[in-house]
Amino acid sequence: MNPYTLVTHPNDVLSTKTNDVKIFDERLRALVFDMKDIMIQNQGIGLAANQIGVSERVAIVESDTMINPVIMFKGKAVHCMEEGCLSLPGKRYLVLRPVSVTVRYQGVDGKSRIETAHGLRARIIQHEIDHLNGTCICDKGVEI
């Protein structure tokens, strides 16, 4: 049984910057497992820990885990696209974002990684990092 449920907007945990993860242990692996489960059950493609009420810098992007992610570089090309969010059920927003980003993060093993992503994956990464920084798409997009 998953101990977490989705948090919907408005909720203070969604508008507060999350804390860095410092301990990479079984509790963290269990959190990641539960996050992936919730994301899949709700047909999502990304999920940030604060969307389930946990104020830690953990994000799921597609099936990958990003802990303490930081965007190091944003490409100059931008694209406006419709986005939805599990914390804003039934709502859609047009959001302008860079088409490519380079992100540094840690895996559940604590090892540092760097990834350059393009297109939809870059958009998901930015969306989830926005959550971790206390920003929702309703804060930066136009509702449609």
26 belongs to the catalytic site? no
122: which residues sit within 8 A by CB, 6+ positions away? 75, 97, 98, 99, 100, 101
45: which residues sit within 8 A by CB, 6+ positions away? 39, 61, 62, 124
72: which residues sit within 8 A by CB, 6+ positions away? 102, 103, 104, 114
Which residue is catalytic, options 56, 83, 115, 128?
A: 128
21: which residues sit within 8 A by CB, 6+ positions away? 28, 56, 57, 58, 67, 68, 106
Nearest residue to 39 (alpha-carbon basis) of 83, 93, 85: 85
- Residue numbers annotated as active site: 128
